[in-house]
Structure 1
Amino acid sequence: MKKKVLLTGFDPFGGESINPSWETVKQLHGETINEILIIAEQVPTVFHQSALVLKKAIQQHCPDVVICVGQAGGRPHITPERIAINIDDARIPDNDGQKPIDEQISDHAPNAYWSSLPIKRIVKQMREHGIPASISNSAGTFVCNHLFYQLMHFIDRSQSMIKGGFIHIPFLPEQTTDKNEPSLSLDIMINGLRIAAVTAASHDIDIRESGGSLC
């Protein structure tokens, strides 16, 4: 059976007309590489609603790997995230106008979750293909971190063997015409996320001794 990798990208936010996360992952939708099928879904840049859309997509597609992708304007590299923290603290409103300050994402839940993706291997594979990549130790406190935390909390509570995590990507060049910020081309970021998907699906890491399936 083919393995499935679910990639998610956000809709535009913060005054931008595009979001590189969605522009990138939608180009990979339907690709099959080495018996690995990539599926792409868009999620809203909205606290809590983004997680509801993600959970529905997981239940629909039954993926083996989930990689949520978001925009990190100002970063020069593709950056797999190491950790999600249990806090919402927004500098700007989300797309529904919500601006939580120092709010827990989930009560009576862990302070943080580690990514279960092979992030060092992903970075190594990207670099070997000439793609700027590095590990990030902070996914921020906006909707990206919120979705990352909700993904890992869902996997943990469901006792699923799904591997999950988050990757931030830079601006696209067309987003930087009015700002002095680094960017990467769409083709480079597509290839980087393709490498991440295949590497994650091909690499076996034991995140718990036993577990069930959501599907």
Structure 2
Amino acid sequence: MILLTGFEPFGGQSGNPSWEAAVRARTILRGEGLAVEAVELPCVFGEAATALGEALEALEPELVVCVGQAGGRDRVSLERIAINCDDAPIPDNAGNQPVDCDVVTDGPAAYFSSLPVKAALGAVTMAGIPAEVSQTAGTYVCNHTFYALMHALASRPGARGGFVHVPYDPGQVPAGSAAPSMPVASMAEAVAVVVRTSLAHSTDLRLAAGSTH
């Protein structure tokens, strides 16, 4: 079983391309004969982790790819690391705005993705979709969910997971704005490529995909 997640709209937006991409990727992968479910998570600290945990318990997936929106980025970001820190620059959808709080009390400082992010980078790029390995998932609900996922998977031997950020979709960008965007169809294909690559690679490739800052 493969689990894909996306988020409800937040920050005044009417939609969230992360959820749309997860739903479309589910359709693509089901068409290839894979068992895939998609779950929409609330953009709320704590509640997102709870909903994800319930999905893990109900579905017992072997592979989990969580997807979130990173407005302002110009490519699909394959997140490498989740940190044990909630530090919200804006309130979540319930009005919560934690500052310098642990995601998990006394949890490790960080978890690395267990997806083959560098192999996926090559595969997504080969598919003609701009992509990068990202060294930060931020400190908002996306990182909160990514950390909660990896903390949960630490006690589930054999299960792997990670997080992918996607840009705005074109409909979110106001006329005249220079903000980058990407069609949801491209985001969905990228998520599908990440899943295919993860199923094909139990270990990652060794290639340079870091950053200088």
Give your verdict on TM over 0.5: yes
Q: In 2, distance between residues paired with 1:205 and 1:38? A: 22
The structure 1 residue matched to 2:144, chosen from 112, 133, 146, is 146
- Specify the code of the residue in structure 2 equivalent to 1:38: V
Q: Which residue of 2 aligns with 1:67?
A: 65
Q: In 2, distance between residues paired with 1:34 and 1:191? A: 13
Runs of 4+ in 1 over 3 A off after TM superposition: none
The structure 2 residue matched to 1:46, chosen from 30, 35, 44, is 44
Q: Which residue of 1 aligns with 2:12?
A: 15
Q: In 2, distance between residues paired with 1:123 and 1:37? A: 23
Q: Which residue of 1 aligns with 2:25?
A: 28
Q: In 1, distance between residues paired with 2:67 and 2:167? A: 11
TM-score for both structures, normalised by structure 2? 0.91
1:149-189 deviation digits (Å, cap 9, x = unpaired): 00001111x24221110000000000012542100011111
CA contact (8 A) 1:36 1:198 kept: no
CA contact (8 A) 1:28 1:39 kept: no
Secondary structure at the counterpart of residue 134 of structure 1: strand
- Specify the code of the residue in structure 1 equivalent to 2:151: H
Alpha-carbon distance, 1:97 to partner: 0.4
Counterparts of 1:1-215 in structure 2, within 5 Å, are 4-30=1-27, 31-32=29-30, 35-156=33-154, 158-178=155-175, 179-205=177-203
CA contact (8 A) 1:126 1:192 kept: yes
Q: In 1, distance between residues paired with 2:52 and 2:157? A: 15
- Specify the code of the residue in structure 1 equivalent to 2:192: R
Alpha-carbon distance, 1:117 to partner: 0.2
TM-score for both structures, normalised by structure 1? 0.90
Secondary structure at the counterpart of residue 107 of structure 1: coil
Structure 1 unaligned segments of length 5 or more: list them: 207-215
Q: In 1, distance between residues paired with 2:17 and 2:157? A: 29
CA contact (8 A) 1:68 1:165 kept: yes
Q: In 2, distance between residues paired with 1:155 and 1:187? A: 29
Percent of aligned positions with the same letter in both sequences? Answer: 43
Between stretches 27-36 and 137-146, larger displacement belongs to: 27-36
Q: In 1, distance between residues paired with 2:66 and 2:203? A: 19
Q: In 1, distance between residues paired with 2:139 and 2:97? A: 11
Q: In 1, distance between residues paired with 2:156 and 2:17? A: 32
